[in-house]
Chains A and B, each alone.
Chain A
Amino acid sequence: MKCPWLKHLSLSLFLLLFVQPALATTYYVGAKHATTRISDALIKASDGDTIIVSPGTYKEGNIAIRKSIVLLGEGYPTIDGMKTYEPLSIYAANVTIKGFKISRSGQSSMEDFAALKVYNTRQVVIEDNILDDNFFGIYLQNARNCIVRGNRLQAYGRIEQRLGNGIHAWKCDSISISNNKIVGHRDGIYLEFVTHTQVVDNQSLNNLRYGLHFMFSHDNAYLRNAFTKNGAGVAVMYTKRVLMEDNIFNENWGDAAYGLLLKDITDSHITHNHFTNNTTAIYMEGGIRINMHRNNFQGNGWAIRIMASSTDNFFTQNNFVANTFDFATNGRLQLNTLSNNYWDKYEGYDLNKDAIGDVPYRPISLYSMVVEKNPTAMLLFRSFMVMLLDRTERMIPTLTPEDLKDDKPALKPFPL
């Protein structure tokens, strides 16, 4: 008996032999190869191909990538924008750019030139590149599911000139920004209308304005980053559901500089961060339902300045060590909760030996209220009269908010 399906099967197997898998081709670009320009290789390549670029300097004006390719640099070949062009523009999905030095992008007051700009696409990987002396560094515009990893960015702008941000994302979703180092831009990392994004293990130093700056960007997480010596620290504005964990905010000095500036933030968590040597570690205006837990505030002018517009915030198990002022506010009514924090200025006692002070601690000194209203009064700080006033106020609170106190001050700092 014959099996009719067997015939069909053998036929299909036979036909399968003629089906060629779409093999990805690799193109080589460089002085020693047939193709000397990256743009020429891009014309030849099709989706899924790889282009490997040899060391050298490539001055090709604007290189536009409109195919899904992998562009690899060997020994950091330089793509030079000659201060006129945008060196790399990516319009296609599934593109990888790895191992390049991209330098000297154009500069304009009308257009936002970047070293590398991603336009309205998805799944782009930008990895292990050196960006030097560009206007904007990496610019993601309307992008989804992209990875920006292990890049080093350096710019040399001064404040009088116009300067772009290091990593700039606008209207993006699900971006991963990790292990980058950004130096000398306007804002190190800038996110606007960006959602579901992770910013992890980055270093942002010596940027002219903010180390990290985000506005209208909900449901994002910022973990293990270091923000050091930036013009004005980190600014988080008009945002919901932020998670900030294990970051370092330090050395942000100046009248308008903050370790962390929070403006109109709701339902967020700020935990396990270190705030060291800032003029103001945290400035909060319009903060609602923020949970601050186990942060370390050390050596700041003000550890926390909280404006009266902030409500329902919880401060628990934080360490306040060697700050000039631990807490300052501008209002009399307080709707925030402080509990079980460690304050090095606490002078109470613990008779029942449960490691919790028996008398509450009031972190707001009278003089911090005075300075809040009249900053120049700072001149008289640490004078005998001021100390006397502060002491009196501690015993009989009249001007400072009565409710703002820690009922369970910890006697030992929390290990962080």
Chain B
Amino acid sequence: MKKQVQGILLSISIIIMISIQACAQATPEAISYGHDQCMHCKMTISDARFGSSLQTKKGRTCKFDDVQCMLDYVRASHVTKEEVAAFYLPDYSGQHKLFQAEEMHLLKSDSLRSPMRGNMAAFKDVAEWEKAQDALHGEKIYWEDFWK
């Protein structure tokens, strides 16, 4: 009997620990391409290479079709920078998964032709970033510079 209770307690504590872990590690809400609407320009988000999002500290997710729209949205103070828990940018190469903006390497090039002409791409992998810079004749830019 005592063993059984111990077992139950153990499993409960494991579940709690896992769920706490899950909460702490914020995962970005997936963008539903072709259905979700950009918070800023109201266009339907359809290009996975540029779809970005931010999550506020209260847990609300705002989605955008272009990094430029996300920047403009924050600059227009619809959400202030202080209220944002995390900014997410898509990896231009590979499966276009969303990663935290701080982990990404950014490239600006007019030949990118993003939906709202922000023309910025983000790369998780440094090698891909370098490769794209040569291919697109882009200019390396840095996420921190947007907030100075």
Chain A contacts to B: CB under 8 angstroms = 109-110, 112, 159-160, 162, 186, 208-210, 231-232, 235, 237, 254-257, 261, 263, 283, 285
Whether A256 pairs with B46 at a CB distance below 8 angstroms is no
Partner of A256, one of B36, B111, B136: B36
Q: Given A110-B136, A209-B34, does the pair A232, B44 have CB atoms closer than 8 Å?
A: yes
Q: How far is the CA of A232 from the CA of B65 in the complex (A)?
A: 14
**B49 within 8 Å of A by Cβ?**
yes
Partner of B42, one of A109, A208, A261: A261
Q: How far is the CA of A410 from the CA of B71 in the complex (A)?
A: 46
Q: Given A237-B41, A285-B42, does the pair A159, B49 have CB atoms closer than 8 Å?
A: no
Q: How far is the CA of A360 from the CA of B79 in the complex (A)?
A: 39
**B75 within 8 Å of A by Cβ?**
no
Q: How far is the CA of A254 from the CA of B34 in the complex (A)?
A: 10
Partner of A208, one of B37, B46, B136: B46
**B47 within 8 Å of A by Cβ?**
yes
0/1 per residue, B112-148, Cβ < 8 Å to A? 0100000000000000000000011000000000000
Which residues of A lie under 8 Å from residue B35 when comparing CB positions? Answer: 254-256
Whether B43 pairs with A235 at a CB distance below 8 angstroms is yes
Whether B46 pairs with A209 at a CB distance below 8 angstroms is yes
0/1 per residue, B16-47, Cβ < 8 Å to A? 00000000000000000111110001111011
Which residues of B lie under 8 Å from residue A160 when comparing CB positions? Answer: 33, 48
Q: How far is the CA of A186 from the CA of B49 in the complex (A)?
A: 15
Partner of A231, one of B34, B42, B136: B34
Q: How far is the CA of A252 from the CA of B46 in the complex (A)?
A: 16
Tally of contacts, chain A with chain B, CB under 8 A: 44
Whether A110 pairs with B135 at a CB distance below 8 angstroms is yes
Q: How far is the CA of A209 from the CA of B34 in the complex (A)?
A: 7
Q: How far is the CA of A109 from the CA of B93 in the complex (A)?
A: 9
Please list 18 pairs of residues, one from A and one from B, whose beta carbons are closer than 8 Å in the complex, sorted by A's number.
A159-B46, A162-B48, A162-B49, A186-B46, A208-B34, A209-B34, A210-B44, A231-B44, A231-B46, A232-B44, A235-B43, A237-B41, A237-B43, A254-B35, A256-B35, A263-B42, A283-B42, A285-B42
Give A109 Cβ to nearest chain B Cβ, in Å: 7
Q: How far is the CA of A273 from the CA of B38 in the complex (A)?
A: 27
Sorted nearest first, the 5 A-B pairs with minimum C-beta distance are: A256-B37, A159-B34, A232-B44, A209-B46, A256-B44
Whether B44 pairs with A109 at a CB distance below 8 angstroms is no
Partner of B41, one of A209, A255, A263: A263
Which residues of B lie under 8 Å from residue A112 when comparing CB positions? Answer: 113
Give B123 Cβ to nearest chain A Cβ, in Å: 13
Which residues of B lie under 8 Å from residue A109 when comparing CB positions? Answer: 49
Given contact pairs A110-B111, A231-B44, a sample of 16 additional A-B residue pairs in the complex whose CB atoms are under 8 Å apart: A110-B135, A159-B33, A160-B48, A162-B47, A162-B48, A209-B34, A209-B43, A209-B44, A209-B46, A231-B46, A235-B43, A255-B37, A256-B35, A256-B42, A263-B42, A285-B42
Q: How far is the CA of A235 from the CA of B37 in the complex (A)?
A: 13
Which residues of B lie under 8 Å from residue A231 when comparing CB positions? Answer: 34, 44, 46
Closest to A257 in B: B44
Give B18 Cβ to nearest chain A Cβ, in Å: 31
Give A207 Cβ to nearest chain B Cβ, in Å: 10
Which residues of B lie under 8 Å from residue A255 when comparing CB positions? Answer: 35, 37
Closest to B112 in A: A110
Which residues of A lie under 8 Å from residue B37 when comparing CB positions? Answer: 255-256
Which residues of A lie under 8 Å from residue B49 when comparing CB positions? Answer: 109, 162
Which residues of A lie under 8 Å from residue B44 when comparing CB positions? Answer: 209-210, 231-232, 256-257
Give A159 Cβ to nearest chain B Cβ, in Å: 4
Give B107 Cβ to nearest chain A Cβ, in Å: 12
Which residues of A lie under 8 Å from residue B48 when comparing CB positions? Answer: 160, 162
Give A234 Cβ to nearest chain B Cβ, in Å: 12
Pick the most buried of A231, A232, A285: most chain B CB atoms within 10 A of its CB: A232
Q: How far is the CA of A257 from the CA of B113 in the complex (A)?
A: 23
Give B46 Cβ to nearest chain A Cβ, in Å: 5
Give A294 Cβ to nearest chain B Cβ, in Å: 26
